[in-house]
Amino acid sequence: IQMTQSPSSVSASVGDRVTITCRASQGIGIWLAWYQQKPGKAPKLLIYSESSLQVGVPSRFSGSGSGTDFTLTISSLQPEDFATYFCQQAGSFPITFGQGTRLEIK
């Protein structure tokens, strides 16, 4: 299953609302996760099963969608949110990731 994220990169300011989209090449139900990765660090799980927030993740992060189209929304960007975000389908093997979306400071 191929996962396609858009945009590949986005520039935004602190306080902005940002949306990142992930499209699966076939239906995956709700079996989608989102990860955040900062330079030189391991990725961090933010959201799983499309909209469930991982423990400790701020509530400004939210996920939605089902089937083939999914969205990660950050409601009010904070300085620590500037990073690269990846989606991942967990519906079937082989597990696949999107190519990533780089969120940069405007």
| Binding-site ranges for another protein (CB under 8 A) | 31, 33, 35, 37, 42-45, 48-49, 54, 86, 88, 90, 93-100
What's the closest the beta carbon of residue 14 comes to another protein, in angstroms? 26
Q: Is 40 helix (H, G, I), strand (E, B) or coil?
A: coil
Give 77 or 87: the residue with its C-beta nearer to another protein. Answer: 87
Integer Cα distance of 78 and 76 in angstroms: 6
**Least distance between another protein and beta carbon 99 (Å):** 5
Question: Is residue 105 within a helix (H) or strand (E), and if so which, with residue range?
Answer: strand 101-105
Question: Rounded distance, CA 42 to CA 55, Å?
Answer: 17
Q: How far is the CB of 25 from another protein (least distance, A)?
A: 15
Q: In this complex, which beta carbon is closest to another protein, that of residue 68 or of residue 101?
A: 101
Q: Which is nearer to another protein, 13 or 80 (CB)?
A: 80
The most distant pair of C-alpha atoms in the chain lies apart, rounded to whole Å, by 38
Amino acid at residue number 13: S
